[in-house]
Amino acid sequence: MATLERQMATERAKRQPTLLIPSPAERIEQRLAQSEQGIPDAWLGITCEMSLEPTSTHYKPYHELEVEKLPGWTNSNGETRARVLRAAKRYLEGSPFRKNNWFPSSSVPVGATSAVNALALLYTQEMDYLVSRSSEFWVPWVPSILADLRNPEADSVPITQLLQLANAAAAAEVIRCVVGQVSEDSSSHGYFLCETKLETV
């Protein structure tokens, strides 16, 4: 009987979820510190860590990271959220990915998806910041917005609104990128992947 009870206790222990070490909050803190120490691309790690629950076993994909719905955002205080917003700005203003000549393309790099995640967060949290940005800010991120494969009608990420802001500040770049992607899609697929966004331009 004692042996059976020990076996049952062992089985129950195995079924208990294991807490992450370090905890999600500690992981977020580490990534925020990296951003604040001058590493803009720490933004990618910040959003990944924010997707974790205390017993998570894996990260969510970048294209599913709606920051305001992540545990790391909803469970954070005002100070941490402000630091996250500043990290998003650092990424958009200083990431080396801004100079990555990847577009047009049939695939979307995680750096581009992470930029849209940052823009979407700032769209709802600090709209004034985005509205006040110049063409110099928007030009590197126009390809990321155009290439993002999330459905602007089904998903809550404001792709259409972001493209409108980019078009208002950098219309020539939007047109240039659209023409380039049309050419790429015509040769690769026979149809235009960004078709749903054309009405915005």
The tens digit of pLDDT for each residue in 69-93 reads 999 999 999 999 999 999 999 999 9
Residue 193 has pLDDT above 70, yes or no: no
- Give the pLDDT mean for 145-164: 83
Nearest to residue 99, comparing CAs of 156, 147, 41?
41
Residue range 9-57, pLDDT digits in tens: 555 545 678 999 999 999 999 999 999 999 999 999 999 999 999 999 9
The reply to whether the predicted model has a pTM over 0.85 is: yes
Helices (H) and strands (E) in the chain, counts: 11, 0
125 vs 49, 72, 119, 165, 174, CA distance in Å? 20, 16, 10, 15, 24
- Give the pLDDT mean for 151-167: 84
Residue 145 has pLDDT above 90, yes or no: yes
Nearest to residue 142, comparing CAs of 188, 97, 177, 181?
177
Domain ranges in the chain?
Answer: 18-91, 105-201
Tokens of 105: 């393309």
CB 83 within 8 A of CB 32: yes
Instruction: Give me the pLDDT at residue 7, please.
Output: 60
| Distance from the Cα of residue 170 to its chain's centroid | 22
